[in-house]
Amino acid sequence: MDFSADLLINAIVAGLLLGGFYAAVTAGISISFGMLDIVNIAHPAFIILGSYIAYIVSSYFHIDPIIVSILVLPAFYALGALVYQVYYVAFEKRGQESLRGLAFFFGLLFITEVSLILVFGVDYRYVEAAYIGPSIHIGLIDMPLRMLVPCLVSLAMFALLELFVTRTFLGRAIMAVSQDQLALQLMAADPIKIKRVAFGISIATASIAGALLIIIQPVEPSVGREYIGRVFAICVLGGLGSMPGTLIAAFLLGVIESLTSTYYGPSWAPAVSFGVLLLTLAFRPAGLLGR
Amino acid sequence: MNAVKFSLIAIAVGLVVMAFATWLHLDYFYFAGYTILQYVVLATAWNILGGYCGYVNFGSAAFFALGAYSSVFMHKFFPVPVPVLMLIGAVVSGIVGLGTGYLTLRLRGSFFAIATLALAVVLQTLIVNWDYVGGSRGAYIIRPETIDIVGFQINYIEYLFVLMLILAVIALTTARTIERSQLGFGFATIRDDELAAEASGVPTLRLKLIATTLSGAFMGMAGAPFPYYIGYLQPASAFSLDYAVNSIAMPLIGGTTSWIGPLVGSILLGSLQQIATVTISSAINLLIVGILLVAFVIIAPNGLVGLVQEHWRKWRRP
Amino acid sequence: MSPLLHVENISKRFGGFVALDGINLEVQPGERLGLIGPNGSGKSTLVNCICGTLHNESGSVSFDGHVVNGLAAHERTHRGMARSFQLPRPFHSMSLADNLRIPLLYTVHARKGQLRSAGDLDARCHELLNMVGLLAKAKQMPRDLTQVEMRKLELARAMAAEPKLLIADEAMAGLSHSEVEDILTLLRRMNDRGITVILIEHIMSAVMSFSQRLAVLVSGKKIADGKPEDVVRHDEVVRAYIGQ
């Protein structure tokens, strides 16, 4: 094994950049699972959907993929609100969310992935943008812009979400609904509407995360599956409902994955996130900063 | 009707169907039939934990593949007859089921579900990196043409079919027996309201572990003959997400509260998929399963069995 | 006489919120204890910690001479604790009779180790349903019950476990005056047979007439514990209920 400082530092930096991106990917789950207690395992499928939309519009109209993702935010928000409404009426209201609700999202994951395969095939797709290609060099450190830009955008989105949740009335209502639905009802706020808004936001983040994903790596429909483990590992490791915790966990996982990949080879990569998830669930389910 | 009578009747039904197929020279019947029977076992096994206790297992593929890879391992290490391999598969998958359950069943049901998904991926990665059983290249198991049973030369595929038939009968009988027993009653309380169950004296963790172990063991038994059936085993096919989707979709579409549901669901959906894969494409086949799953879960939460029961009730009342 | 239930310095937090702050409580065998307090004062949380449904962060619970910290809820039920839930939690996929069969099968049998015949079990289920006035609905499902009937079912299920200690958590909410009297009579009869009862209630008349001793919880702290007539005149108690 090559233990040179150069390799090590770059592996860590790459891991941090990756971790920053993972924060964007996980932000949606932080809301839907961390705050609303909805196990939306279809979230990665929505992200891949975002990637494909960014790919199509960007290739056709030559607009930057991140801009595309922001333009389609309202559509993703609406999709999220619709999905939640169905989930609420069909499962939450009937108290069936633990079995059938989970199966519902699993089905959605499948339908989305297979539909994408049928429409686009299994070839890898990628986008083109000015910052895919060049890198910044700082001393020993190599930072490809295609990693740096998504990392920065992701952190910005994450910061916006954190501000939203702590400073706005709607955001705090979402935090409240996660802790005490009854109290919220007593305040004459409609918890269902609030949850719908929150879930809509959660899916909207998938739009941006998808664009960032296809900047970082070429995408094909089954890429989403790797991310299931990652997002839940980060969410659980960080502690449900704690956005700062999610951020720390994201960086941590990014670095662990990067080091594993560098020193042990990429065939072990999928096991890292799922392994971290299993270990966390087994030994510290409250996570690092959990409630 | 007690368990023994039930299983004998079930075997008789199976043998009649077999005789019919042989008379019609439907060789394809054994190949397709094996796959459907495999799903009967997987769906029934999943339902013991999912339908009866209310805990979703997304990692059916893991337990199935463990059974398959135990067979690959034994084939290289110390060849034994397939029925013995099935027992080994049961033990291996049962223990892993027990372990996973012990680590995660004290948490919420949603955590258990995610953990099972994680388990599948971790195990797949371990197997991919384990060269002794073929790693990512896969493993070949040459299937003999025939096998000698008490002096008769039996076609190997028919032999595997009969083994799977017996396993399916055992699984169905077990599920049915559980349903009617105190254990099944306890499972239902876990599904209905776990806190109230604990407060009433039900040892919920112990029961959940029994369910997980049984469920895992049956899935492992279903996987054990698979390498012999298919001839060439790759991690991607053994751990295929198809198994996860189907073992969830079949009970949910068939009906989760009784042993009949997974049986109906697996025969219907299994047959549908066999036809679709041959006539359309395997991708569309999966799309259909996904759509049916979502549709049934929303519209007919009690599955086909539930729909039939409702109809009966409406018929009876004038 | 050593207490049947000894709660020592129990604390419980939910995140930053302190639900219970160093609660001490003793209940003597055969006693009728009333537990009152404003909504959100921690009464149900205390019950959950005593019964094992929740884990207290600190302090200990002793029952019948043994420390039960760390024991699962079902084990505490086997040892003789039983409780009804404040918001009824019936087994919704089973009939009323079957709801009662569960504690009989899993608690009573676990203790005595003797199996009764199905017929005996049925008889016992019907007997219990009769005690709470639900015999006519034995074959019906919980979703067909009114809120009031569901509370009675809760109580019957707790009684089915043949407890030494019965904790009735707001079992009488919404009942009419005569129904309240019926439940009180039922609880008194059980007490006569030696069952210790903790009654958590907001209906003051019921609490006053039933309790030998009264404890008051406010904001997670026990502020009074003594004879009912004395406790209700206690300054802090008056303030908690009437306000400043």
Could you tell me which residue, B67 or C112, shows the higher pLDDT?
B67
Question: Is the reported ipTM for this assembly greater than 0.95?
Answer: no
Could you tell me which residue, B65 or A187, shows the higher pLDDT?
B65
Percentage of chain B lying above the pLDDT 70 cut: 98
Cα–Cα distance, A220 to B197 (Å, whole number): 46
Residue C239 has pLDDT above 90, yes or no: no
Is C40 strand, coil or helix? coil
- Check CB contact of B192 with chain C, cutoff 8 Å: yes
- Residue among B117, B191, B239 with most chain A CBs within 10 A, to mutate: B117
Instruction: Tell me the residue range of the domain where B142 lies.
Output: 3-316
Would the CB atoms of B198 and C74 count as touching at under 8 Å? yes
Would the CB atoms of A271 and B125 count as touching at under 8 Å? yes
Closest residue on chain C to A241 (Cα): C15
Q: What is the DSSP string of chain B?
A: --HHHHHHHHHHHHHHHHHHHHHTT-HHHHHHHHHHHHHHHHHHHHHHHHTTT----S-HHHHHHHHHHHHHHHHHHS---HHHHHHHHHHHHHHHHHHHHHHHTTS-HHHHHHHHHHHHHHHHHHHHT-GGGTTTT-EE-PPPSEEEETTEEEEHHHHHHHHHHHHHHHHHHHHHHHHTSHHHHHHHHHHH-HHHHHHTT--HHHHHHHHHHHHHHHHHHHHTTHHHHHSEE-HHHHT-HHHHHHHHHHHHHH-SSSTHHHHHHHHHHHHHHHHHHHHS-HHHHHHHHHHHHHHHHHH-TTHHHHHHHHHHHHHH--
User: In terms of Cα–Cα distance, which of B201, B206, B196, B203 is closest to C77?
Assistant: B201
User: In terms of Cα–Cα distance, which of B226, B280, B224, B274 is closest to B246?
Assistant: B274
Of B104, B249, B301, the CB nearest to A282: B104
Could you tell me which residue, A180 or B123, shows the higher pLDDT?
B123
Q: Which chains touch A (3 or more CB pairs under 8 A)?
A: B, C
Residues 144-163 on C with a CB inside 8 Å of B are 157-158, 160-161
- Residue among A29, A35, A37, A110 with most chain B CBs within 10 A, to mutate: A110
Q: Which amino acid is at C88?
A: P
In a domain, C110, yes or no: no
Cα–Cα distance, C8 to A235 (Å, whole number): 36
- Check CB contact of A240 with chain B, cutoff 8 Å: no
In a domain, C96, yes or no: no
The per-residue pLDDT for range A267-276, each reduced to its tens digit, is 787 788 888 8
Number of domains into which chain B is organized: 1
Cα–Cα distance, B272 to B266 (Å, whole number): 9
Q: How confident is the model at residue C73 (pLDDT cuts 50, 70, 90)?
A: very high
The Cα of C239 is separated from the nearest Cα of chain A by a number of Å equal to 24
Instruction: Tell me the residue range of the domain where C63 lies.
Output: 5-89+162-242
Strand partners, C32: C197
DSSP H helices, chain A, are 5-29, 43-61, 65-71, 73-87, 102-120, 145-167, 169-179, 181-186, 191-216, 223-238, 243-264, 269-283
CA distances from A164 to A59, A184, A240 (A): 32, 18, 18
User: Rounded to two decimals, what is the model's pTM?
Assistant: 0.90
Inter-residue contact A19 to A254 (CB < 8 Å): yes
Chain A contacts of B290, Cβ < 8 Å? 107-108, 110-111, 114
pLDDT at position C244 is 43
Chain A contacts of B261, Cβ < 8 Å? none
Of C74, C90, C160, the CB nearest to B204: C74
Would the CB atoms of C91 and B189 count as touching at under 8 Å? yes
Chain C contacts of B200, Cβ < 8 Å? 74, 77, 102-103, 106-107, 157, 160-161
Closest residue on chain A to C13 (Cα): A291
Residues 245-304 on B with a CB inside 8 Å of C are 257
The per-residue pLDDT for range C108-140, each reduced to its tens digit, is 888 876 667 778 888 989 999 998 888 999 899
The per-residue pLDDT for range C202-230, each reduced to its tens digit, is 888 899 999 999 999 988 888 888 898 88
Residues 171-230 on A with a CB inside 8 Å of C are 179
Is C224 strand, coil or helix? strand
Number of domains into which chain C is organized: 1
Interstrand relation of C5-14 and C165-169 (parallel, antiparallel or unpaired): unpaired
Q: How much is the average pLDDT of A82-91?
A: 92
pLDDT at position B17 is 77
Segments making up each domain of chain A, as ranges: 5-283
Provide the number of CB pairs (under 8 Å) joining chain A to chain B.
125
Cα–Cα distance, A202 to A186 (Å, whole number): 25
In a domain, C176, yes or no: yes
In a domain, C188, yes or no: yes
Q: How much is the average pLDDT of A149-158?
A: 90
The Cα of B72 is separated from the nearest Cα of chain A by a number of Å equal to 21
Residue A2 has pLDDT above 70, yes or no: no
Lowest mean pLDDT among A177-181, B194-198, B233-237: A177-181
Q: What is the mean pLDDT of chain C?
A: 88
Q: Which chains touch B (3 or more CB pairs under 8 A)?
A: A, C
- Check CB contact of A229 with chain B, cutoff 8 Å: yes
CATH number at residue C66: 3.40.50.300
Residue A1 has pLDDT above 60, yes or no: no
Which range, A178-187, B226-235, B278-287, has the best average confidence (pLDDT)?
Answer: B226-235
Q: What is the mean pLDDT of chain A?
A: 86
Could you tell me which residue, B145 or B294, shows the higher pLDDT?
B294
Of A233, A267, A282, the CB nearest to B103: A282
- Check CB contact of B186 with chain C, cutoff 8 Å: yes
Cα–Cα distance, A3 to A225 (Å, whole number): 32
Chain B contacts of C93, Cβ < 8 Å? 188, 191-192, 257
- Check CB contact of B201 with chain C, cutoff 8 Å: yes
Could you tell me which residue, B45 or B21, shows the higher pLDDT?
B45
Closest residue on chain C to A183 (Cα): C40
Closest residue on chain C to B190 (Cα): C91
Q: Which amino acid is at B142?
A: I
The per-residue pLDDT for range A205-222, each reduced to its tens digit, is 999 999 999 999 899 888
Closest residue on chain B to A95 (Cα): B192
Q: How confident is the model at residue C68 (pLDDT cuts 50, 70, 90)?
A: very high
Residue C183 has pLDDT above 90, yes or no: no
